[in-house]
Amino acid sequence: MEGDISNATKRPQDRFVYDPDTQADLFDDILSKRIIAFIIDAILIVALLIPAGLLVLVLGVVTLGLGWLLFPPLFAIVALGYNALTLGGPASATIGMRVAGVEMRTWSGQK
């Protein structure tokens, strides 16, 4: 369509933003939902740290201790990887966010 302007080329004042005053139902109980999502995600990240830690332990033995240098940044690697893979996916939400009914949206309202 010739008259159609994609969201990437729209001016900032033409972008769509969810308004808590006019769309209050989208913001109902959001604080409690985010807390629940955080707790679920924290439990899942700790659960993912166990096999990752065992993998680094074995890697350290195989590399004569050199692989153990991955232990300090292990939490950051697992947590950032978890967030990148889940938020960047088609659902635009971590597993905790999906359970709690929260999803990430862009400024223009897209996933």
Residues 32-49 pLDDT 10s: 999 999 999 999 999 999
Per-residue pLDDT at 103:
87
Per-residue pLDDT at 1:
45
What is the full per-residue pLDDT of the chain (111 aa) written as tens digits?
Answer: 444 555 555 555 555 677 888 888 888 899 999 999 999 999 999 999 999 999 999 999 999 999 999 999 999 999 999 999 999 999 999 999 999 999 888 777 777
Per-residue pLDDT at 9:
56
What is the chain written as a DSSP string?
Answer: --S---GGGS-GGGS----TTT-GGGGTTHHHHHHHHHHHHHHHHHHHHHHHHHHHHHHHHHTTTGGGGGSTTHHHHHHHHHHHHHHTSTT-S-HHHHHHT-----TTS--
